[in-house]
Amino acid sequence: MHPATHAKTNPDRAAYIMAGTGETVTYRQLDERSNQGAHFFRSQGLKPGDVIALFMDNHPRYFEIAWAAQRSGLYYTCISSKLTAGEVEYIVGDCEAQLLITSPGVGAVADELPGVLPKHVKLYMAGEARAPYASWEDAISGFPTTPIADQTAGSDMLYSSGTTARPKGVKPPLTGGPIDPESPLSSMSEMIFRFPPLPIYISPAPLYHAAPPRW
């Protein structure tokens, strides 16, 4: 089920816990912060079908940003935190991202990007932001924690590994429907893996990869 559903039925349950620090984000917090992010995206003129890019390590804000994009009808392109500035530049340009969010954990590459990315791409950093990046947390802090009026389902837009020439983006068509459609992964987890409702799931993989954010 969509996190917004769990926020209503299990608001104080941990949506995820960061293994390295123990930081816990509840379903209520995930829902409220993703709502704030959705309002922020609309304030920036982003409409359904537009694209944002995430160039981050496994950061506690990652899911909040992804769900903000999903409930805004946006595509969110998850970029490998291991890429060079030139490689990130190519993907940001190819997916036509209008906004990039990064984190301190990607290291010096974040400092190189402002000099190579198109000037129209707006730059934000989650965590301890440094110039010229604006703070993601500060940017969304003043917005409502309630849903935007025009919620519609967005989608990830992921890139191939680039084994044959440059990476290629996979851009699935948007449904234009509600944010909580039936998920094939949910059916698979119930029928094949027999996961119980609200299981505890250990995810050791990088969130920019295809399977981790979807599961």
Q: What is the DSSP string of 194-208?
A: -PPSS------S-TT
- Mean pLDDT calculated for residue range 160-189: 83
| Helix or strand holding residue 135 (H, E) | strand 134-135
- C-alpha distances in angstroms, 98 versus 37, 46, 150, 160? 15, 8, 20, 21
- Mean pLDDT calculated for residue range 115-122: 97
The pTM of this model reads 0.93
State percent of the chain over pLDDT 90.
82
Check: CB of residue 51 under 8 Å from CB of residue 78.
Answer: no
Structure tokens at 107: 């290291």
Identify the band that residue 116 occupies on the pLDDT scale cut at 50, 70 and 90: very high
In a 3-state reduction of DSSP, which class is residue 14?
A: strand
Check: CB of residue 34 under 8 Å from CB of residue 67.
Answer: yes
- The angle, 0 to 180 degrees and rounded to 10, between the axes of the packed helices 62-70 and 27-43 is 60
**What is the reported pLDDT for 163?**
76
Cα-flanking dihedrals φ and ψ of residue 155, to 5°? -160, 155
**What is the reported pLDDT for 25?**
98
Identify the band that residue 192 occupies on the pLDDT scale cut at 50, 70 and 90: confident
**What is the reported pLDDT for 162?**
72
Whole-angstrom distance, CA of residue 14 vs CA of residue 93: 36
